[in-house]
Structure 1
Amino acid sequence: MDPRNALQLASVGDIVDAVVAADRLLATVSAHRAELIDEARRRSELSEATTARPAGARWDARTVARRELLSELACALRLPQRSMETLLAESEALVHELPATMSALRAGEISYRHAKAMIDHAGSLPAESRKEFEEALLPQASRLTAAKFDGTARKARERTHPETIRTRHEKCAGDRAVHLVPARDGMAWLNAYLPTATAHSIYNRISDLAISLQRPDETRTLTQLRADVLSELLIDGVGAPGTPSAGLGQGVRATVLITVPVMTLLGHSEEPGHLEGYGPIDPETARRLAAKAPSFIRILTHPETGCVLSVGRSRYKVPKDLRRWLRVRDETCRFPGCNRSASRCDIDHGLDWQFGGRTDSDNLANLCPPDHDLKSETGWSVKHARDGTLNWTSPGGRTYSTDPATPMGPAPPPPF
C-alpha cells in the first residue's frame, strides 16, 4: 500500500473518531438542556402561589405561569410555541419518567432522536408499564439507527399496551390534521394525518384515476398525474387533470391574497408576484391567477422599490378596509415566531382601546387568538413603530422585533 494512502486513511479514521465524539457531546448537551428546561418549568410552577390575578381575569395563575414560560422559551430558542410545548413535555418525561434513557443520553450512548422515540412510545403506556418497557428496549437504542429503533419500539408498544388497538385508534383519530409546508421555487407540501384506512383509500383512489389517464402520448409521470388528480379533485371537485394550467373550479373557490406589481400584471416586467403565506411566485403564475380572480382588492406597488402605494377603498365599513390593509402589511400573526395566516387572526390594539388606544395602522396588528390572549392576560407588551415594526417585551424583560411582511406607506385615514 502506498504510505500516502495509509496516512490518508489514518487521518480519515481520526476525523471519524472526532465526529463520533462530537455527536456524543451533542447528546450530553441535549440532556443538560432537558434538565434546564424542566427546572424552568418547576420554578414557574412555584411562582403560581405568589401570582395575584386581577378581578375578572380569564386565566388563572397556573395558566399564566405556563403560557409565560412557554412563550419566553419559544422566543429565546426561536421555536414555534407548539414545538416548545413538545420540548417542554419531552424534558419533563426524561427527567421524571425515563431515568435510564436520560442517563444514556447524558453519557452520549444514544442520540436525542433515540430518546425522543422512547418518549413517544413509552409515554403512551400506563405509568406502571413504562419502567419495564424502557429496560427492555433501551439496550437496542445504542446499536440501532433512530429510525430502526423507532420501528422496534412501536412493535414492542403494540405488544405491551393494555388497551386494544381500536380504543387507541379512536383516541388518536382526534388528532387528524392537514398541514401546509412551504418549499422552494414556488412549491409546497400538503400533508394530511389521517386514519390509515382513509389515507390508503385516498391514495388508491388518486392512483386509479392517475393510471386511467396514462396514454402513449401522455408526458406526465404517474407521480405527476397523482398530484394533478389530487389538485383537480380538491379544487374543482372533478378528476380530469387534462388542463394543467386550469384555474379554480366551479365549486368552492379558495381565498388567497396575491400581490402583483402593476408592471408585471401588464406584462412589462418579470418581477415576481407575492402569494400570501408563501412568498415569491413566478410572474406567469401571478398573471394567470390575477386573470382568473373573481374580484380585486386594488394594491398598487412601485415598479422599482416594491413599496405599496395604495390600497383600494372598495368597502363602506372602514374596519374592513383597515383589515385588508393590515392583512397585506402583516401577512401572518405578528407575535414572534408565529406563522398563522393573518386571514385567521384577530386585529389587536397595541395600546388597548379602553386605555386610549387609537384605531389606526400605527396601533393595530394581526394576532392569532392564542397570542392575542397571551398579550392580554400575561406580562407581554408591544410598541408599534411608524414603519410597521412591532417591538415586543417579554415578562422576563427580553426584547424581540417582528417586521411587516410588506413595506407599506401610511394607511388611508379612517373617516370616523
Structure 2
Amino acid sequence: MFELSTALADPRECLNADLVTAFRRGLSARLESPDALDDASRIDTLRALEELACVVSAAQAHLAHGLDRSVRAAQAAAGVPAARCGAGVAAQVAWARRTSPHRGARDVALARILPSELPATWRAWRTGRITGWKATLVARETACLSREDRGHVDAVVCDDLDRLEAMGERELVAAVQTEACRLDPASVVLRRRRAEADRHVSLRPAPDTMTWLTALLPVTAGVAAYAALTRAADSARADGDPRSKGQVMADALVARVVGATGDLPGSPAVTLGLVMTDHDLFGGTDEPAHLEGFGPVPAELAREVVVGALTRHEQVWVRRLYCHPRTGELVTADTRSRLFRGSMARFIRLRDRSCRTPWCEAPVRHSDHPVESVADGPTSLLNGQGLCEACNYAKQAPGWHARPSPGVSGHEVETTFPTGHRYRSRPPRLVATVGHTPYRVDYVLSG
C-alpha cells in the first residue's frame, strides 16, 4: 500500500490525486466483504486506520500549505497588495474538502504556521501520533506567545511522542497553558482580552423544532446572567409555578430579551417570517413551512404561530410569493406592500436562505452580483445571489469568475476557480408542495 507519510517526509516522492484515488479504491473494495480477523487483529487494524486518518489529514494540510504559498506568490507577482494576497485560498480548500469556508480558513491558517512555528507538533501530526484537532489545540493555546516562546512550548510539550500520544485533549491543553504561563504570564492576560472581544450570540437548529440559543460571554457576565435567571426560577417555583426550573429560566430569558411580557418597555419590535402555501396556511395540506433564520417547521406549528399572533396584540402581514411551477424555487414576489423596503435584497435572502457556496450554510449578508457591476452586470434577480461576507470577498480574488446560468432547472450560478475547477449552486425549493401559491406571513413581537 502507498504510504502517505513517506510522501510527506521525502520530497522525492510525488503525492498526487491518482495515487490517493487508487489507495482509496483499494481500501474501499476491502470493505465489501467480511473481515477474516480475530478480535486482537481488529483492534490493531482500528489503531492503524486511526493513525492513517491522522496522516491523511496532515497530507491535506500539507497540500493546503502548498496551494497557499503558490497563490500568494502569483498574486504578489500580479501586483495584489500584500494585505490581500491569499484571498480565495480558503474557499478553494473548503470546496475540495467539502466543508465551510470558515473551516477552510482555519485549516489554511493551521497549515501555514505548523511547519515553521510548531515543527514538533507538525512532526507528531504527520507521523500519525496526534490528530489534527490536537495540533489545532497546541496552535490555539500558543497564539499569544512570541515566535521564540511558541517554539519553546512546542519543543517541551511534544518532546516525548509516546507521552504526547497518550495525552487527552484537556491534559494537552493544560500542559501547553502551564508552559506558556511560565514563559510569559502577560500572554494569559492578552488571551483573556482577545477572548472577551470574541463574545457573541449564535443560533442553531435543534431536534424536534427547537433551537440552541448560545451566548459566549466573559465569565462575570455569564455567571451573573445565569444567577439572575436562577433567582427568577426559584422565586416562581416558590410561588407555586408548575413549570420546571429549566422551563422558567428559558421563558424568563425570552421575556427579558424580546419584552414579551412588558418587562422591557420600549424594546424594539422583532419581525419573524413564515413561508407556507395557501393550502397549508388554511389547513388543506400539512407540508412543512419555512421559518426564516431557522428552517422547516411543521405546518401545524406554523398555523399555531399565525393564529396565536392574530389573537394577541401583534401585527400580521401576508405577502404573496411566486414559485417556479416545476422546481418550487422562488422566482418573483408581490412587492406592493408598503413595508417591503429593499425588496430585491429581501427577495434574494428569502430565495437563497443561506450562503450559496457549497457547504457554507452561513447567513446571507451580501446580495452579490455574479457578473460584477463593473463588468456591466445588471442589478437583477437573475444576476443576483445571496452570499456570506467571507464568500463574497473570496470571489473577488484574481482569477475567479461567476455567471448566472438560467434554464428549465431554475436559477443557477456557475462559479469558476483560478484552477479551472467549477461548481454550480441552486437555491433550495421554497416549499415542498409545488403548484400551490406560497405566502410569507410576518408577525411582529412588540414589547
How far 1:31 moved relative to its partner? 2.3
1:227 to 228, 235, 250: 250
How far 1:117 moved relative to its partner? 1.6
How far 1:334 moved relative to its partner? 2.5
SS of 1:153's equivalent in the other structure is helix
Mapping of residues 132-143 of structure 1, within 5 Å: 132-138=152-158, 139=160, 140-143=163-166
How far 1:388 moved relative to its partner? 1.3
2: distance between equivalents of 1:105 and 1:375?
32
2: distance between equivalents of 1:136 and 1:21?
27
1:260 to 268, 276, 284: 276
1:32 corresponds to which residue? 59
**Deviations 1:230-286 (CA, angstroms, capped at 9, x unpaired):** 22222226598xxxxxxx997323233310222222133322210123221122331
1:294 corresponds to which residue? 315
2:383 corresponds to which residue? 363
How far 1:150 moved relative to its partner? 2.2
2:174 corresponds to which residue? 151
Mapping of residues 87-102 of structure 1, within 5 Å: 87-102=107-122
TM-score w.r.t. length of structure 1 = 0.81
What code does the residue aligned with 1:147 have?
A: R
What code does the residue aligned with 2:288 have?
A: P
Change (3 A) 1:318 1:271: closer
Unaligned runs of 5+ in 1: 1-9, 53-59, 241-247, 410-416
Q: Is the 8 A contact 2:322 2:333 kept in 1?
A: no
1:333 corresponds to which residue? 355
1: distance between equivalents of 2:421 and 2:89?
13
How far 1:200 moved relative to its partner? 1.1
1:111 corresponds to which residue? 131
SS of 2:402's equivalent in the other structure is strand
Change (3 A) 1:262 1:325: same
Q: Is the 8 A contact 1:389 1:403 kept in 2?
A: yes
1:125 corresponds to which residue? 145
2:342 corresponds to which residue? 320
1:384 to 404, 417, 421: 404
* Higher RCO by CA contacts (8 Å cutoff, separation 6 or greater): 2
- Say whether 1:68 aligns with 2:91: no
1:44 corresponds to which residue? 71
Moved more, 25-34 or 297-306: 297-306
Identity among equivalent positions (%) equals 25
Q: Is the 8 A contact 1:34 1:95 kept in 2?
A: no
Q: Is the 8 A contact 1:27 1:110 kept in 2?
A: yes
Unaligned runs of 5+ in 2: 1-36, 435-447
How far 1:18 moved relative to its partner? 1.1
SS of 2:166's equivalent in the other structure is coil
Change (3 A) 1:305 1:195: same
SS of 1:269's equivalent in the other structure is coil
Q: How many residues are treated as equivalent by the alignment? A: 384
SS of 2:38's equivalent in the other structure is helix
2: distance between equivalents of 1:308 and 1:180?
25
1:273 to 265, 270, 289: 289
| Cα-Cα RMSD | 3.2
Change (3 A) 1:157 1:182: farther
1: distance between equivalents of 2:403 and 2:187?
53
Q: Is the 8 A contact 1:94 1:102 kept in 2?
A: yes
SS of 1:179's equivalent in the other structure is strand
2: distance between equivalents of 1:250 and 1:271?
37
2: distance between equivalents of 1:309 and 1:91?
42
Change (3 A) 1:136 1:270: same
Moved over 6 A (4+): 301-305, 316-319
What code does the residue aligned with 1:335 have?
A: T
Q: Is the 8 A contact 2:414 2:422 kept in 1?
A: yes
2: distance between equivalents of 1:114 and 1:376?
33
How far 1:198 moved relative to its partner? 1.0
- Say whether 1:406 aligns with 2:426: no
**Deviations 1:9-33 (CA, angstroms, capped at 9, x unpaired):** x932221111111111112222222
Q: Is the 8 A contact 1:68 1:395 kept in 2?
A: no
SS of 1:178's equivalent in the other structure is strand
How far 1:67 moved relative to its partner? 1.0
TM-score w.r.t. length of structure 2 = 0.76
2: distance between equivalents of 1:218 and 1:16?
54
2: distance between equivalents of 1:48 and 1:359?
29
2: distance between equivalents of 1:341 and 1:143?
40
- Say whether 1:282 aligns with 2:298: yes
